[in-house]
Structure 1
Amino acid sequence: MYKKLLLFLTILSSSLMVQAQEISSPDKNLSLKFELNDAGAPTYQLKYKKKDVIKTSKLGLETKDVPSFLTGFTVAKTEQSSADESWNPVWGEQKTIRNHYNELLVTLTQKAEKDRLIRIRFRLFDDGLGFRYEFPEQDNLNYFIIKEERTEFAMAGDHKAFWLPGDYDTQEYSTMTSKLSEIRGLMKSAITPNSSQTPFSDTGVQTPLMLKSPEGLYINIHEAALVDYSTMSLELNDKTMVFETHLTPDAIGDKGYLQAPTQTPWRTIIVSDKAGDILTSKLVLNLNEPTKYKDVSWIKPVKYVGVWWEMITGKSTWAYTDEKIQFGVTDYKKTKPNGKHGANTAHVKEYIDFAAKHGFDAVLVEGWNEGWEDWFGKTKDYVFDFVTPYPDFDVKELQRYAAEKGVKMMMHHETSGSVRNYERHLDTAYKFMVEHGYNSVKSGYVGNMIPRGEYHYGQWLNNHYLYAIKKAADYKIMVNAHEAVRPTGLNRTYPNLIGNESARGTEYESFGGNNPDHTTILPFTRLVGGPMDYTPGIFQTKISAYNPDNDSYVHTTLTKQLALYVTMYSPLQMAADFPETYNKFMDAFQFIKDVAVDWDETHVIEAEPGDYITIARKAKNKAEWYVGGISDENARVATVSFKYLPKGKTFTATIYADGKDASFDKNPQSYTIRKMKVNAKTVIKQQIAPGGGFAISIK
């Protein structure tokens, strides 16, 4: 009997050894364990320096039309490999990115489903984990419908969280900061009005989700390479502190349509005991494929000005007339202009002159095309054709004038949420751009989606956004998509995606204001997936100066606006205020003129989500460095080092700082400018006002 028991335990132990697999990150700080539980369900665990990051969590997908990929698995094969390579992005925060990981590929079979296969691929980097589901080509699997993905993220405690309400249509909420256990009680107050919104749960949150454990671990959960799949949100069980994926449904409630061979996006977990490591992680980019384009010479970072802020503040209008019109029927030449239309030829020339004088690349113009009177708040399929200008906007004359001044024009396409209509006109619209000298477009998806019932973050819309980007590449056009899905690193594969909004940008400063801590959180959340067209540079912080009926104000100091050009990374940066305002502060405006939009190096000097960020960057192919430091509503003293400078050399630093009496709410325009010599050994203490910041140019 004893021998039989010993034999049984030996066989059981061998079976468990086959099913349990472990790998470590290249630096050995992170460890991953994969195994099947008693029901044959795949599970994983993640530790950092022997501390729990993710406790035992289930993996799998529930399907609608075929048996689910949840239980009944056995391990058919495991394979381990490693990779260590470097690549150069077309544009980015650093010139060269290292892609170094250890990989575990597990092939699972479901005996009850005629040995149907699924693979789970894990990649463990020094800064985190990425994993995805893969469905090989096989006789027993073809087309299938996802009811829900059941990936879990079991937290090791009641962490501090920086979260947005889970929503199928918008990320334009203020970030909430609370313990995980407090999310349910705060959800109602977190959901503020938006032109299109569909919150789905009292404990649902969006990604990127930033967390900090009581032990001081910084954890970020997101996804990479979101292609032909629904956007992932997270549903929290606040009794067990376990997150489960929640995919955006379509109009009939299905979560996704797949056909083998295929794979899901990567689920990503970035982790460190240093907050700055979250900001410098390139894990999401590394999990995306290399660029699809052979020629990328036409893709260039852009610094621009434009006819935009005046409409946001209410000083000007997008619409040409206040009369009732019907797009495609009304003859605008027979209507009465409202006298406030911003996109008129003479006014746009003023912006072109300003851009040319100060070295900006492009001028954005919104409200140039017919139809703006006939769409907002309506659900109409055909509102814009994207090629017909208002009577006061001379496309050819502005093309000639901009070319003469050496400035590019930036197109604006507001789709009004009517995706079918946009695709109907896309080739014609892009051809129109090429014919008239436009090489970049800002697209918008304001309002509820058409087809009706589809959501901004569903599989169908995600496929559309990528279709528009790839189609733009056919015409060598760069895309800056607003109200689209938040980025997941696809700009590596399609680098003409030079910007996204997908969060509360500067425009909300005119709609009541962003919290002073807003931009100290976004780099840890929204920007983890890719750059944001935040549109900084507002010097006149009282909106009433432009529109007496609007008493909102920008919740920053003037020099914090300068710092955002460094802390809020984007290869697409706007100087969003009016030329006449910049003319009053030309000494401070010099920093916006000087600061780069493409970088060789990035160094995080200090950082704590929700509190402060100080970042230094080296300009691409130049011996110039720029530093930006920002704070939340609290004053603080930043410790600024210059150890990234070449040793043995001295540089001149120009420091733009808050004045002694500055504050975001009472005295935002108080600032000082001073110069000093610095080298690699220099360390300075820099005072930051409440809601303030500082910017340094080093040459």
Structure 2
Amino acid sequence: MKKYLLPSFFILLVFQLCNAQELKSPNGNFTMTFSLLNDGTPTYALTYKNKAVIKPSKLGFELKDDKNSLLNHFTVSDTKSATFDETWKTVWGEETAIRNHYNELAVTINQKETNRKIIIRFRLFDEGLGFRYEFPEQKDLIYFVIKEERTEFAMTGDHTAFWIPGDYDTQEYDYTESKLSEIRKLFKSAVSSNASQKQFSDTGVQTSLMMKANDGLYINIHEAALINYSCMNLDLEDKTFVFQSHLTPDAQGNKGHIQAPSVSPWRTIIASYDARDVLASRMTLNLNDPCKIEDTSWIKPVKYVGVWWEMITGKSSWSYTNDFPSIQLGVTDYSKAKPNGTHGANTKHVKESIDFAALHGFDGVLVEGWNVGWEDWFGHEKDYVFDFVTPYPDFDVVEIKNYAKSKGIKMIMHHETSGATRNYERHIDKAFQFMNNHGYDAVKTGYVGNIIPLGEHHYSQSIINHYQYCVEKAAEYKIMLNAHESVRPTGICRTYPNMIGNEAARGTEFQAFGGSKPNHTTILPFTRLMGGPMDYTPGIFEMDISKLNPANNSHVNTTLANQLGLYVVMYSPLQMAADLPENYNRFLDAFQFIKNVPVAWTESKYLEAEPGYYLTIARKDKNSNNWFVGNNNGVKPRTSTISLDFLEKGKKYDATIYADAKDADYKTNPQAYKITKQKVTNKTKLSITSAAGGGYAISIVESK
């Protein structure tokens, strides 16, 4: 690993002219300019290859019960600049090593009337800009309450955006593609129902926000290292195309309680004329602290199956009985209950899942609905919903533990909190010790419904702190954590790699709740995945949900080949084969790709990319010289032409191509696919047609 940090007199990157400071990226393509307006308001601007990305935009804070706030009347008292270059190794990731190279400018500004100071730290990478606010220790700014962060992102025009509605409680929306000027008009139609949601403005959107300017420049706005702070949305002034930060409030309406010394999350802007550069950026990870877990040997990527999709579709139930009108843990006597006959998490059925996992080489099995309380868990805003240690009468924890161990399978625990964060924190040590005692080293948590304490939001400061507490507590017990319905990731998995996956977006389950748009997964890598991997739960082979549950008429809006491509396109070290074993048994030749595709990578190549339309990604297996390629396509059929020049020169490979058949279509013929094989080298070019809502997958194995 190389690493160095040099003071400004070595690098000469910053100069002062008319109260302005300028910072250039290592390759010189980006220029950030910081300056103060006449009234002392701090501003910044960003250009890429001499073209404006962000026009001059204001910085600062409005404080509660403080007439001066931290908005203006500043002077620059100090500037420090440096350059930094290191290469760090990942515990898991899209590659095994990541370069962290940036030039930095730290500007200290003082508010003369109040004797308060802020440091605004800018880091300029070859792919974009990160900046944050720092509140150093000082006698005149110790405790304060944020009324609103006033960071602006002034766009240069009416860009095309891929957006979901700004919300304090959910990101589980389909994406809308529109001009910025059309967001207000389309906002209501972009809002779909959810178990917990709260929009704040009809021009509010969420990050990571992906845009494309008329000249072809791709722009991505997000945040990194969201720690002890409220999650940021963006509120658009649609006449000037200026976004302003909008923090998630707490139950009292406050946006943040700060004690100096403290720092904000990083605000990030990535830009390029090539969409592939956005996908390849590791800036979000690089703006997070290095790994804080000394021994990471227990953190391992996992490919798993589970008792889950059958409940999502309504074929089975989480609950054990229909006898009780309500449940009170410690009072309700389950021994007197009659089983409902649909409970999925029973010992016999879970053993069948373990057998399937062992037969096909999977690592683990997830089981949902194993613990008491599911009969009365949702919609009542109960504080004491689950205890996370008491199984239903038909789920034998010890027998399952021993059986899984005999088959070489790891069990994955499920902890649904029903949004009751206080209750989970009360029980978390006992629950994690229970996992240690019974051989579970990974947990999927859930936060369905409104947050308790009532009035708090999924993305407010105290609940952000709850999620972080769970990650750090899990690390103490050597448990890998996969949080659903939590805040979107912001690269914290670099610091705590036991945070092996998250949902925090509209996942596959919504395909059983009415469906998602067929181009959904061509947008997610540019948005949700910018902050970390997603437990998207792909691998659905039966698209007609009524065949699993006649009462459910939903349709999975992809082709089968598209589902295979997801295992490469939707990066995650935690990948599920989500469908039922009987559906995989119908298509064993296609299922072979899911069995073969790794979950640990040493290198990734982004071959084609256009947000909302298509993606083609190649990744190299961490444990062999084999490569795997995945493609997802949008609503129009398209021929994808790719070069295999990433393969090692002079070597021959056997390629197996899983593609849409000529008559495949996500609506009318989703299970039509074809499998072909051919010899390939680094000189090979392939042309493969993807259907509407389709895609393809390729395994490329070094010839023996």
Query: Fold match, TM over 0.5?
Result: yes
AA aligned to 1:154 is: A
Listed as ranges, the gaps of 5+ residues in structure 1 are 1-14
Structure 2 counterpart of 1:81 = 82
Structure 1 counterpart of 2:403 = 401
SS at match of 1:563: helix
Per-residue CA deviation, residues 531-573 of structure 1 (Å, 9 max, x unaligned), is 1000000001110110011111110110110000000000000
On the 8 A contact 1:29/1:49 being kept in 2, the answer is: yes
Aligned length: 684
SS at match of 1:46: strand
Q: Distance in 2 between matches of 1:91 and 1:327?
A: 42
Structure 1 counterpart of 2:343 = 341
Per-residue CA deviation, residues 398-417 of structure 1 (Å, 9 max, x unaligned), is 00000000000000000010
Q: Distance in 2 between matches of 1:560 and 1:166?
A: 29
Q: Distance in 1 between matches of 2:377 and 2:619?
A: 43
Structure 1 counterpart of 2:421 = 419
On the 8 A contact 2:16/2:22 being kept in 1, the answer is: no
Structure 2 counterpart of 1:692 = 694
Q: Alpha-carbon deviation of 1:464?
A: 0.2
On the 8 A contact 1:327/1:384 being kept in 2, the answer is: no
Q: Distance in 2 between matches of 1:665 and 1:633?
A: 11
Per-residue CA deviation, residues 497-541 of structure 1 (Å, 9 max, x unaligned), is 011111110000000101001000000111001110000000011
On the 8 A contact 1:18/1:75 being kept in 2, the answer is: no
Q: Distance in 1 between matches of 2:532 and 2:158?
A: 28
SS at match of 2:216: coil
AA aligned to 2:492 is: L
Q: Distance in 2 between matches of 1:621 and 1:73?
A: 55
Q: Distance in 1 between matches of 2:604 and 2:421?
A: 38
SS at match of 1:698: strand
Q: Distance in 1 between matches of 2:192 and 2:645?
A: 43
Q: Distance in 1 between matches of 2:312 and 2:328?
A: 23
Q: Distance in 2 between matches of 1:55 and 1:607?
A: 27
Structure 1 counterpart of 2:29 = 29
Q: 2:465 aligns with which of 463, 480, 492?
A: 463
Residue 94 (structure 2) pairs with residue 93 (structure 1):
yes
SS at match of 1:399: helix
On the 8 A contact 1:224/1:488 being kept in 2, the answer is: yes
AA aligned to 1:573 is: Q
Structure 1 counterpart of 2:279 = 279
On the 8 A contact 1:327/1:370 being kept in 2, the answer is: no
Structure 2 counterpart of 1:153 = 153
Q: 1:658 aligns with which of 653, 657, 660?
A: 660
Q: Distance in 1 between matches of 2:311 and 2:293?
A: 36
Residue 483 (structure 2) pairs with residue 481 (structure 1):
yes
Please show how residues 24-423 of structure 1 align to structure 2 within 5 Å.
24-66=24-66, 67-114=68-115, 116-324=116-324, 325-328=326-329, 329-423=331-425
Q: Distance in 1 between matches of 2:121 and 2:585?
A: 55
SS at match of 1:491: helix
SS at match of 1:276: helix
AA aligned to 1:186 is: L
**Mean Cα displacement is larger for which, 248-257 or 318-327?**
318-327
**Aligned in 2, Cα 1:351/1:367: closer, same or farther, shift over 3 Å?**
same
Q: Distance in 1 between matches of 2:604 and 2:328?
A: 48
Q: Alpha-carbon deviation of 1:383?
A: 1.0
What is the TM-score normalised by the length of structure 1?
A: 0.97
Q: Alpha-carbon deviation of 1:339?
A: 0.3
Q: Distance in 2 between matches of 1:314 and 1:640?
A: 40
Per-residue CA deviation, residues 639-667 of structure 1 (Å, 9 max, x unaligned), is 12101000111100000011111111111
Residue 454 (structure 2) pairs with residue 452 (structure 1):
yes
Q: Alpha-carbon deviation of 1:16?
A: 7.3
Structure 1 counterpart of 2:554 = 552
Q: Distance in 1 between matches of 2:644 and 2:197?
A: 45
SS at match of 2:433: helix
Per-residue CA deviation, residues 600-656 of structure 1 (Å, 9 max, x unaligned), is 111011110000000000011310100001111110000121010001111000000
On the 8 A contact 2:93/2:601 being kept in 1, the answer is: yes
Structure 1 counterpart of 2:572 = 570
Q: How well do the aligned residues superpose, as a CA RMSD in angstroms?
A: 0.9
Q: Alpha-carbon deviation of 1:327?
A: 2.5
SS at match of 2:564: helix
AA aligned to 2:22 is: E
Q: Alpha-carbon deviation of 1:330?
A: 1.4
Q: Alpha-carbon deviation of 1:19?
A: 2.0
Q: Alpha-carbon deviation of 1:333?
A: 1.4
Q: Distance in 1 between matches of 2:328 and 2:415?
A: 16
Q: Distance in 1 between matches of 2:623 and 2:287?
A: 26
Q: Alpha-carbon deviation of 1:485?
A: 0.1
Task: Using the aligned pairs only, state the percent identity.
Answer: 65
AA aligned to 1:228 is: N
Q: Distance in 2 between matches of 1:346 and 1:128?
A: 53
Q: Distance in 2 between matches of 1:439 and 1:302?
A: 11
Q: Distance in 1 between matches of 2:70 and 2:545?
A: 54
On the 8 A contact 2:24/2:103 being kept in 1, the answer is: yes
**Mean Cα displacement is larger for which, 316-325 or 535-544?**
316-325
Structure 1 counterpart of 2:534 = 532
Q: Distance in 1 between matches of 2:425 and 2:226?
A: 20
Q: Alpha-carbon deviation of 1:491?
A: 0.1
AA aligned to 1:492 is: R
On the 8 A contact 1:645/1:680 being kept in 2, the answer is: yes
Q: Distance in 1 between matches of 2:171 and 2:182?
A: 20
Q: Distance in 2 between matches of 1:503 and 1:416?
A: 17
Per-residue CA deviation, residues 463-488 of structure 1 (Å, 9 max, x unaligned), is 00000010011110000000000000
Structure 1 counterpart of 2:587 = 585
SS at match of 1:626: strand
Q: Distance in 2 between matches of 1:39 and 1:195?
A: 46
Q: Alpha-carbon deviation of 1:18?
A: 5.8
Structure 1 counterpart of 2:522 = 520
Q: Alpha-carbon deviation of 1:322?
A: 1.3
Q: Distance in 2 between matches of 1:375 and 1:341?
A: 15
SS at match of 1:380: coil
SS at match of 1:236: strand
On the 8 A contact 1:224/1:266 being kept in 2, the answer is: yes
Q: Distance in 2 between matches of 1:598 and 1:112?
A: 55
Q: Alpha-carbon deviation of 1:65?
A: 4.1
Q: Alpha-carbon deviation of 1:326?
A: 1.6
Q: Distance in 1 between matches of 2:582 and 2:16?
A: 72
Q: 1:668 aligns with which of 667, 670, 673?
A: 670
- After superposing on structure 2, the runs of 4+ consecutive aligned residues of structure 1 that deviate more than 4 Å are none
AA aligned to 1:552 is: S
Structure 2 counterpart of 1:493 = 495
Structure 1 counterpart of 2:638 = 636
Per-residue CA deviation, residues 376-421 of structure 1 (Å, 9 max, x unaligned), is 1111100100000000000000000000000000000000100000
Listed as ranges, the gaps of 5+ residues in structure 2 are 1-14
SS at match of 2:493: coil
Per-residue CA deviation, residues 342-380 of structure 1 (Å, 9 max, x unaligned), is 000000000000111111110000000000011211111
On the 8 A contact 1:65/1:144 being kept in 2, the answer is: no
On the 8 A contact 1:560/1:630 being kept in 2, the answer is: yes
What is the TM-score normalised by the length of structure 2?
A: 0.96
SS at match of 1:431: helix
Q: Alpha-carbon deviation of 1:233?
A: 0.2
Per-residue CA deviation, residues 196-231 of structure 1 (Å, 9 max, x unaligned), is 000110100000000000010000000000000000
On the 8 A contact 2:61/2:149 being kept in 1, the answer is: yes
Q: Distance in 2 between matches of 1:359 and 1:191?
A: 41
On the 8 A contact 1:123/1:129 being kept in 2, the answer is: yes
